[in-house]
Structure 1
């Protein structure tokens, strides 16, 4: 005859469940508790994601709104120089011309600080359709498809063409 004590333990070495563990009401209560914990964790994570998304949207809106702030700040001295020139209507032509050159240097410096760079190809430079716009093709004593003259400078902003340079191009011979 075999007694309870002589039964071999199962392979995992577990003991038999207690009466409390077998009670379905305890299992349901335990599962409901876990469900409540998981629901709470889910709602907290969802709220956190919504907060992060809202903050990101606010940051993007601020960035768009104030994107030109540094550029506008760099343009203020140029505006001041132009207003000073207007304020002196009796100035000599030489003085006005000197002021115009100084204002142009201020403007060029402000553009450069804001990564706006001139496209001004020299004669003989190979025509680049990404940076140049050919206005006409003219006969010239240089290689075909090269720049002959620049009619209007172009500009890049952070390596993107803001305005292509308007050029005439040498015709094939």
Structure 2
């Protein structure tokens, strides 16, 4: 037999094998479908499946409820923790103020020492506030911004009009949100 005559025979055998395996697979699928169809029609099987689905729904509902409670607890803990960190940051300021009061009661303490201690306490307090996102609004020389400034007076000034020429009280921002506007004096043309 030549090489050419073997090839068609091999191809025919491969096709026959493929057809046989396809027929076997089709028979298996049909058998599975008939078993599944018979099972789905059986009321006991349907009742079991329904009970399984009910249990699955109850489990999912319980998981959702547990997740909701866990999230609520985490949010509450985050609030407590954030406040705890803030209070912890303020404790050194309180300590410094108490030391300043004690120092002022001593007759040997000079006014200069009390002033120096007060400045250090103020700087400590401002650093603590900045650590928590609180920043002062001190806009001298800036254009008047009604979103961040509250004009308490308008005065003639040599510089450009509608600019802040002095600050009576600093304003403060908590991150990007205004907590208190700065009380300012605004310039006008002479």
Matched, 1:95 2:110: no
Distance in structure 2 (CA, Å) of the matches to 1:122 and 1:84: 34
Distance in structure 2 (CA, Å) of the matches to 1:138 and 1:159: 29
Contact 2:158 2:189 in 1 (8 A): no
TM-score by length of 2: 0.74
Shift of 1:46: 0.2
**Count of equivalent residues:** 159
Distance in structure 2 (CA, Å) of the matches to 1:132 and 1:70: 30
1:17–1:77: structure 2 CA closer, same or farther, 3 Å change rule? closer
* Unpaired runs of at least 5, structure 1: 1-11
Aligned with 1:130: secondary structure?
coil
Distance in structure 2 (CA, Å) of the matches to 1:160 and 1:34: 56
| Pairing partner for 1:120 from 138, 142, 145 | 138
Bigger RCO (CA 8 Å, 6+ sep): 1
Q: RMSD of the alignment, in Å?
A: 2.5
Task: Report the counterpart of residue 80 of structure 1 in structure 2.
Answer: 95
TM-score by length of 1: 0.81
Pick the structure with greater CA Rg: 2
Distance in structure 2 (CA, Å) of the matches to 1:149 and 1:23: 85
Shift of 1:142: 2.2
Task: Report the counterpart of residue 52 of structure 1 in structure 2.
Answer: 67
Distance in structure 2 (CA, Å) of the matches to 1:45 and 1:68: 35
Kindly provide the CA deviation profile for residues 61-84 of structure 1, in whole angstroms up to 9, marking residues without a partner as x. Answer: 222333322121111111111111
Kindly provide the CA deviation profile for residues 30-66 of structure 1, in whole angstroms up to 9, marking residues without a partner as x. Answer: 1111101100000000000000001111122222333
* Unpaired runs of at least 5, structure 2: 1-25
1:34–1:140: structure 2 CA closer, same or farther, 3 Å change rule? same
